[in-house]
Structure 1
Amino acid sequence: MGAAVNETLAALRAGDLAGATRLDLSGADLSEVPPEVFALAETLEVLDIGTTRISALPHDFSRLKRLTVLFASGAPFQRLPEALGDCPALSQVGFRGCGIEMIPAEALPPALRWLTLTDNRIETLPAALGERPLLQKLMLAGNRLAALPESLAGAKSLELLRIAANRFEALPGWLVDLPALAWLAWAGNPFDTAIPEAAVPPVAWRDLTVGKALGRGASGDVFEAAWNGRPAALKLFRGTMTSDGLPEREMAACLAAGEHPNLTGALGRIVGHPDGAQGLLMPLLPDGWRVLAGPPSAQSCSRDVYAPDLSLSLDVARRIACDVAAGTARLHARGLSHGDLYAHNVLWDGTTGTAVLSDFGAAAFAPPGEAERWTALDVRAFGLLLGEVLDRVDGDVPAALRDLEAACVQPDSGARPSMDAVLSALS
C-alpha cells in the first residue's frame, strides 16, 4: 500500500476529510468499505476502491446520496453489488477485471450513464440494462457474452458500445438502428475471422535502431526508431486486454490499413524480436504535432474535451475534416470500421490543419458483404467530430458544411452518406 493512500486512510479515520467530494482508496489494504466513509454522505461524489480486497458493499451504501462515480476495478467482486441500484445520483460505474460473473437487475442505478465491465466473466446481462434511459457508454469487452438483451434495442441514448473479445456468433442486427450509436468495437468474436493479406512488409528487428520512448497507450508502448535510416515510430504490444479489445486485432487492422498519409497505419510488422514481442513500425509524425482534443471526462461521458481557447480558421477546420475523412475512407475501402473516430485520436500539425487518424484499438473488419451497413457508425462519429470542429471556427460557417454534418449524424444509419461521398463534399 502506497504512502499516499495510507495518509488518506488515516485522515479519513481521524475525521479530517469533512466536506470532501472525492476519495481515492485504490490500493489500500481493505476488505470492506470503511464505515468512516459515511461521514462524507452529504458531499462525496467520487469514490475509488479499486485494487483492494473489498468484495461486497454495505447494504446501506445508498446513504452516499451525492455519489456520482464509483470505481472498483481490480477488486474481487463476483457480482455487481445490488446496493448500487439504490444510489440515486450514481451515473458512472467501473468494475473492470474483478472476476464478475453476475449482473443482477437490481444493481443498475436509475441514473446510469457509463458502465464499465471490461475483462470479467459475464455470460448474460439483465433486460433492465436497456431500461436505463440515460445510458450512453457501455464497456463489455473481454467477457463471455453471446447475446445482448433485446431491451438495448430501445437504448436511444447509447453512443458507445464495446463488445469485442466475447462469444458473439454474429453482430446483433438492431445495433445499426440505434439512433445515437457512433462508436462500436466488435473484433475478436467468433464471427470475426477475417485475416486479410497484410498491405505492408515484415520488418526484421535487426534492421531497427530503437530510440527514446514517445508514449504509453492502452495496448502498448511507442518508441522513436530508425528503419534502414528511415525515421519511424515503433509500437510494441503488451498483449493484455484493453477497454476496446485485443491487441492482436488492433495489429491486424493496422496491417490491413497499410501506409496512408492520413493514417498512423503500419509500415511493417516486426519479426525476430529477441523476447518474441509483437510490434508494428508506423510513420513518425513531425515534432510539435498534437492531439486535437482530450478524451471524454466523467462529466462529458462520451464527448471529447477541447481546449477552451482553441480557435480555427475555416480553411484549417476544413483541412482537418478532409484529412480525417480521407483516412477513414481508406479504412472503409479495406472493409474496416475504425470504431473510435474521436478528436482525441486525431493528431494535427497545429497550424495548417494537416491531420492523421490514429489508434486502431477498436477497429474491426466488417462482416462480409455488410461493410457499408456497419461503417455508417463511423460516419455518425465523423459527423459529431465535424460539428465540434465547426463550432470552433472563428467566423461564419457555410451552410453546406452544417448540412453535411446533419446528414452524417442523422438517426437513420441507412440514410447517411458514405465516407467517399463525405470526402467529395468536403473537397
Structure 2
Amino acid sequence: MHTLTDLKTGRLAGITRLDLSDELEHFPREIFDLADSLEVLNLSGNRLSELPDDLGRLHRLKVLFCSDNHFTHVPEGVGRCPALEIVGFKSNRIEQLSPNALPRRLRALILTDNCLTALPEALGDCADLQKLMLAGNRLQSLPTSLARCQKLELMRIAANQLQALPDWLLQMPRLAWLAYAGNPLPAPFCTPEDPGHCPRIDWQHVRLAQVLGQGASGVIHQARWREQDEPVAVKLYKGQMTSDGSPLNEMAACIAAGDHRQLVRLAGRIDNHPEQLPALVMQLIDPSWFNLAGPPSLASCTRDTYPAERRLSLSSVRRLAGAIASVAAHLHGHGITHGDLYAHNILCDEAGDCLLGDFGAASFYPQDGSTAAVALQRIEVLAFGVLLGELLGCCEEDCQALREVQQLCVQPEVMRRPGFAAISQHLRGV
C-alpha cells in the first residue's frame, strides 16, 4: 500500500500500479503526474464521492477500483479514460450509472452491493464486455440492449429485485458463469426455505480451533465435535453481500446438494451459535490437497490462471473430467447450478481425486424440462467446456476424443450443447 506522502513527494514516479487508502475525501491531483505510466489505480477504502472530470488524462489507465467509498454515482470522468477496461465500484451507495460513465473499451464492470434500480441501455454498446457484477442492488429489470454484448461470459445478478430471467439472457453464446439467487423469481427459481435434511448440531458440542481460511462469505475453522474422533471443519457464515450474492444462499445450496463423492461431506448445521451466526460442520480436507488453478487475474478477466509448471497426464485429465461431469450432473439432478464451475474451485490430491467447492454463486431452477431450465443447465456446460479445454492445455499428450467432447460443450448455440448425463456417457467411452 502506498502513502499520500510518497505520492506528493514524487517518490512514486514511473509506477504502473497505485494503491492508495488514506481516508481520502478528495482525489489527489498528484496522481496525474503518473499519467505516462499508471495502468492500475486502486482507491478503495477511502471517503471519496467524486472523481475529476478530466480523469481521462490518465491515458494509460486500464484498471480502476474505487470500492468501499461514498459514491452515489459512477463519475462521468471514468468514461473519458481511453484505455480503461476494468471498473470496480463495489460497496458504495451508487444509485445512478450514466451512459457517459462507460468507457468504450470496458471488459469488466463491478457494481456489487450498491443501490442501483436501473441500468442504461448504453451498456449494450460495450461490445467487449466479458464480466458484469451486479449482485446486491435493487434492479427490477435488465436492459434488453445487453443481448448485444456477445462476449459476455460471467454475470452476477443475485440479490436484486428481478421477477424474471429474460429470454435473451439464456441465449447468450458465451455466457458460462451465471448467479441469480435471491431475486423474487417464480418459486422454482428461488432458494428453498427448507433445502433438505441436514442434522442439527448443538453449538455446545463444538470446540473451535485455528482458522483454516476465510473469504467474503465466512470463516472456516478446524474444530472438534464430540460425535467424531477425527477433527472437522466448521464454516461460520457472515451476513454481508459477496460478489456472488448472499452467503445464506450458499449455505442452503450446500445442504440441498446432498451427497456425492466429489462434494465435501456435511455432518450437520448449527442453529444456536451465540451470535446467531449460521454454520455448517463438514469434512476436514487434508492440507495436502491443492487448488487445481488460481482465480482469474486482471489480465485474464474471466479465465483461471494455472501455474506454469502445472502438467497433467492424460489419465489425470480423463479422471478429472469424468469426476466433474459426474458431480455437475448430480447437482443438476437436484435443480442446482453451481454458477462458478472453475478450476480454482476444484481441490485435488496427488492421486487425482478431486472435490468441487464454493457454492457462493449457486442458483436453483425447476426440474420440469422447460426451455429455461434446460438453457440454465447448458450455460453451465459451457463452463465445463472451458475447464476441459484448460485441462487439455495442461495435458502432456493430446486426445482427439476429449477434444471432440470439449467442442460439443463450447458451441455458441446454447440448446445444442449436451447435458451432463450425455457428457458423462461420452467420457466413459474416451
- Please report the TM-score for the alignment, with normalisation by the length of structure 2: 0.95
Name the aligned partner's letter for residue 336 of structure 2. L
Return the offset for 1:364: 0.8
Return the offset for 1:280: 0.9
Identify the residue that residue 118 of structure 1 maps to in structure 2: 112
Tell me if the contact between 2:182 and 2:249 (Cα under 8 Å) persists in the aligned partners.
Answer: yes
- RMSD, aligned α-carbons: 1.4
1:230-258: CA deviation from partner (whole Å, max 9, x where unpaired): 43221100111000000111111011012
Name the aligned partner's letter for residue 19 of structure 2. D
Return the offset for 1:366: 1.0
Return the offset for 1:265: 5.5
Identify the residue that residue 56 of structure 1 maps to in structure 2: 50
Larger displacement relative to structure 2 (295-304 or 364-373): 364-373
Return the offset for 1:338: 0.3
1:365-389: CA deviation from partner (whole Å, max 9, x where unpaired): 1145343221111111011001101
Identify the residue that residue 243 of structure 1 maps to in structure 2: 243
Structure 2 distance, partners of 1:322, 1:281, is 28
Name the aligned partner's letter for residue 329 of structure 1. A
Pairing of 1:358-377 with structure 2 (within 5 A): 358-367=357-366, 369=368, 370=370, 371-377=373-379
Within the candidate set 375, 382, 396, 1:394 is matched to: 396
Q: Secondary structure at the match of 1:267?
A: strand
Identify the residue that residue 263 of structure 1 maps to in structure 2: 263
Tell me if the contact between 2:191 and 2:363 (Cα under 8 Å) persists in the aligned partners.
Answer: no
Identify the residue that residue 404 of structure 1 maps to in structure 2: 405
Within the candidate set 92, 98, 107, 1:104 is matched to: 98
Percent identical pairs in the alignment equals: 49
Segments of structure 2 that go 5 or more residues without pairing to the other structure are none
Tell me if the contact between 1:200 and 1:258 (Cα under 8 Å) persists in the aligned partners.
Answer: no
Structure 2 distance, partners of 1:335, 1:217, is 26
Identify the residue that residue 423 of structure 2 maps to in structure 1: 422
Larger displacement relative to structure 2 (181-190 or 201-210): 201-210
Pairing of 1:184-263 with structure 2 (within 5 A): 184-191=178-185, 192=190, 194-227=192-225, 228-229=227-228, 230-263=230-263
Name the aligned partner's letter for residue 212 of structure 1. Q
Return the offset for 1:123: 0.5
Identify the residue that residue 154 of structure 2 maps to in structure 1: 160
Structure 1 distance, partners of 2:408, 2:211, is 41
Return the offset for 1:193: 5.2
Structure 2 distance, partners of 1:417, 1:232, is 38
Over 3 Å counting, the alpha-carbon distance change for 1:111 and 1:384 in structure 2 is same
Structure 1 distance, partners of 2:287, 2:64, is 38
Structure 2 distance, partners of 1:87, 1:310, is 37
1:314-333: CA deviation from partner (whole Å, max 9, x where unpaired): 01111111111121111101
Structure 2 distance, partners of 1:199, 1:358, is 20
Tell me if the contact between 1:259 and 1:267 (Cα under 8 Å) persists in the aligned partners.
Answer: no
Question: Is 1:23 aligned with 2:18?
Answer: yes
Structure 1 distance, partners of 2:302, 2:204, is 42
Q: Secondary structure at the match of 2:252?
A: helix
Name the aligned partner's letter for residue 382 of structure 2. R
Segments of structure 1 that go 5 or more residues without pairing to the other structure are none
Q: Secondary structure at the match of 1:250?
A: helix
Tell me if the contact between 1:182 and 1:378 (Cα under 8 Å) persists in the aligned partners.
Answer: yes
- Please report the TM-score for the alignment, with normalisation by the length of structure 1: 0.95
1:319-367: CA deviation from partner (whole Å, max 9, x where unpaired): 1111111211111010000000000100000x22211110000001114
Structure 1 distance, partners of 2:375, 2:177, is 14
Return the offset for 1:275: 2.1
Identify the residue that residue 65 of structure 2 maps to in structure 1: 71
Q: Secondary structure at the match of 1:380?
A: helix
